[in-house]
Structure 1
């Protein structure tokens, strides 16, 4: 499950969002799985409940999770085609940003290949 690095400079809610997404990606969390309550997640990770609530709100806005009042918070079923379209759109934005910064697409491809091989960029 999610591990928060209390020594990191990255905000806790960002770490929680990334950690939950990673758990979903690696199959540790499946569609329809129930997440711990805000208080339980906060206690387990030594966080303020407001921090967990902020992370859950962000995940809900991104439709990664859904909250059912009185029942709990659950992992959403992801439409693979919709997810692919979203990633393509983000990639287009990244390529535009890289181009504006003078980074050629060839360099981005090299970085992606390194990431795919597990090497640090």
Structure 2
């Protein structure tokens, strides 16, 4: 399966960060699934007109985040998502968001309203 990652060469965002974000989005949208092999560093670099070191940096970051696993001599593969890890990570991010909102004077009730609006928009 081919990744749908798009690199914006005119963006101010570093290319490796765009690649990390793009691959995570491909996984989230089911374009890439657990066990899928990613293109080699050289192939990904060629596809997106990037330096292989840039792709390698992105792959290392994804591996550190346990999104992919690299097998020497074999390639890099998408890891299965552990729902419990996702839940824990989301709870921590939500806690941080609630704290930021509180500092800005935004109530939990207002956050709930926003969540309801988002839910309505995605349903």
Q: Which category of TM-score, normalised to the shorter sequence, fits these structures?
A: 0.7 to 0.9
Q: 1:14 to 1:105 in 2, by over 3 A?
A: farther
How many residues are matched?
118
Matched, 1:93 2:82: no
Q: 1:31 to 1:115 in 2, by over 3 A?
A: same
What 5-or-longer segments of structure 1 have no aligned partner? Answer: none
**Residue 59 of structure 2: aligned partner:** 56
Work out the CA distance in 1 between the residues paired with 2:92 and 2:44: 32
Q: Which stretches of structure 1, 4 residues or longer, exceed 6 Å deviation after superposition?
A: none
* TM-score, with length taken from structure 2: 0.85
**Displacement, 1:34?**
0.3
What 5-or-longer segments of structure 2 have no aligned partner? Answer: none
RMSD: 1.7
Q: Say which SS state the counterpart of residue 34 (structure 1) adopts.
A: coil
Q: 1:9 to 1:113 in 2, by over 3 A?
A: farther
Work out the CA distance in 1 between the residues paired with 2:29 and 2:12: 25
**Displacement, 1:100?**
2.2
Matched, 1:20 2:26: no
Q: Say which SS state the counterpart of residue 92 (structure 1) adopts.
A: helix
* TM-score, with length taken from structure 1: 0.86
**Residue 44 of structure 1: aligned partner:** 47
